[in-house]
Structure 1
Amino acid sequence: MAISHLDISDSTGKHINHANFDGGFHLNAVIVSNDFENLEILHRHQLVYKALGSMIKNEIHAFSMKTFTVDEWDSNVA
């Protein structure tokens, strides 16, 4: 997956004192890639989950993402 822009924020610290905290990361991501061209949101997210592989099962507890093509990102940022 060719990524043009990536922002990741870690909100794990907000969950440390929760009774069910299992140590997994709580992440929010903005991902820009032309690999998302002509894909619906569901398929974009599936592509990201595939790229994350076993990390999504073993190390990441919660993962929120916004996905954009380069053109969408340029329009969104402008």
Structure 2
Amino acid sequence: MSNMQQHLIEQLKTALDPNHLEVINESHNHSGSARESHFKLIIVSDYFNDFKLIERHRFINRLLKEEMGHIHALAMHTYTIDEWRMKNSIPDSPKCVGGSKF
């Protein structure tokens, strides 16, 4: 696990007390030398119950403001517990504009 990945996990756990959390380092799927630049977040938290999707993403962007200076791409999948129960799958992350190894 990368240092940035572990750091993101700690930040999100502290702020959101999630029921489910995945922080996936997808940097290896992209071109370039950065190993900690592309991440996918899957967060299920009661904290999101009264938040619209855009408010959830804004909250995470504010929470990770400092870290965003080092992250090129961050895919966020934020759910309430009820939304998570109805989900069948998580969307694939978009292709990197800078190119991909695949």
- Name the TM tier (shorter chain): 0.7 to 0.9
The gaps in structure 2 that reach 5 residues or longer are 1-15, 89-102
Q: Which position in structure 2 is the counterpart of 1:68?
A: 79
Q: What is the one-letter code of the residue matched to 1:33?
A: S
Q: Which position in structure 1 is the counterpart of 2:11?
A: none
Task: Give the alignment's TM-score, normalised by structure 2.
Answer: 0.60
Q: Which position in structure 2 is the counterpart of 1:15?
A: 30
Q: What is the one-letter code of the residue matched to 1:64?
A: A
How far apart in 2 are the matches of 1:10 and 1:75? 25
2:44 is the alignment partner of 1:29: no
Decide which of 47, 51, 54 is 1:42's aligned counterpart: 54
SS in structure 1 opposite 2:40? strand
- Percent same amino acid at aligned positions? 28
Deviation >2 Å, runs of 4+: 74-77
RCO higher in 1 or 2 (8 Å CA, sep ≥ 6)?
1
Alignment RMSD, CA only?
A: 1.8
Q: What is the one-letter code of the residue matched to 1:66?
A: H
More strand by share: 1
Shift of 1:72: 1.5
Shift of 1:53: 2.7
The gaps in structure 1 that reach 5 residues or longer are none
Task: Give the alignment's TM-score, normalised by structure 1.
Answer: 0.76
